[in-house]
Amino acid sequence: MKKPLKPTSRASYLLFLVFVLVFAGLGTKLLIFSHAAPAPPASCTYHATTSTFASVFSSAPGGSTICLAPGNYGTWAGGTKTSMVTITPDTAAGATAPTPPTPSSGGLNANGTGTNGNVLFSGLNFRNDSFITFDGITFTDDVDMPWGTTTATVHDITIQNSIFRAHLELTTQT
C-alpha cells in the first residue's frame, strides 16, 4: 500500500502547494493561507448582511472595508471599483474566518481541510471586475475568473486567508 504524499520540509511543502495549485482545476480542494502573521482586523467602513450586501457593495467607494454578517451570500458576479474594496467577516456580528490547516499534522488538520468560517459565498462568476479583496471567506462552489480574455477584464482581485471547497478556475481564453 502506497503512503500518501506528505511534505516533510518547507521546500517540499512549497513544491506540494505548487502541485495543488496547478491541478486545482481538476477537482483538487484548494486552501489559500499565508504564513505571515495575520493582519490586524480591518476597521469596518460598512456592515452588510446577505440581504444588503449587493447594495452596500454597489455604493461603497474605493478604500472601503465591507464587513459581512454570518450567512451564505450565494454566487456573486462582483463589480468594478476604482481602488480596492475589502470584503471580510464582521466579527462584531459573530462572523468567523476559516482557520488554516495545522502544520503539526503535516500541513493538514484531522479532516485534511482546515475549518470553514461562517461567511460563505457559493461561488464567484467574474467577467469585468476589479479592485476587490476577499479576506477570510469560505467559497463553497466554483470560483471563475477569466484573465487576459477578449471578452472579460478581471484585474486587481486579491483572495487571502480563505478556503476554496470546489474549483478555482483562472482561464485565459481569447
* CB contact at 8 A, 123 and 139: yes
Give the pLDDT of residue 124: 84
Average pLDDT over residues 3-19: 46
Over residues 100-114, the pLDDT tens digits come to 766 654 544 444 556
Residue 80: strand pairing partners: 130
Tens digit of each residue's pLDDT (9 = 90 or more) over 51-99: 999 999 999 999 999 999 999 999 998 899 999 999 999 999 999 999 8
State the chain's mean pLDDT as an integer.
74
Give the whole-angstrom CA distance, residue 97 versus residue 120: 10
- Give the strands of the sheet with 143-146, arranged side by side: 75-76, 123-125, 143-146, 168-171
Higher-scoring residue by pLDDT: 11, 96: 96
Of the candidates 121, 118, 140, 142, the one whose C-alpha atom is nearest the C-alpha of residue 132 is: 121
Across the beta sheet with 65-68, the strand order is 46-48, 65-68, 80-89, 130-135, 155-160
What is this structure's pTM? Answer: 0.69
pLDDT of residue 33: 43
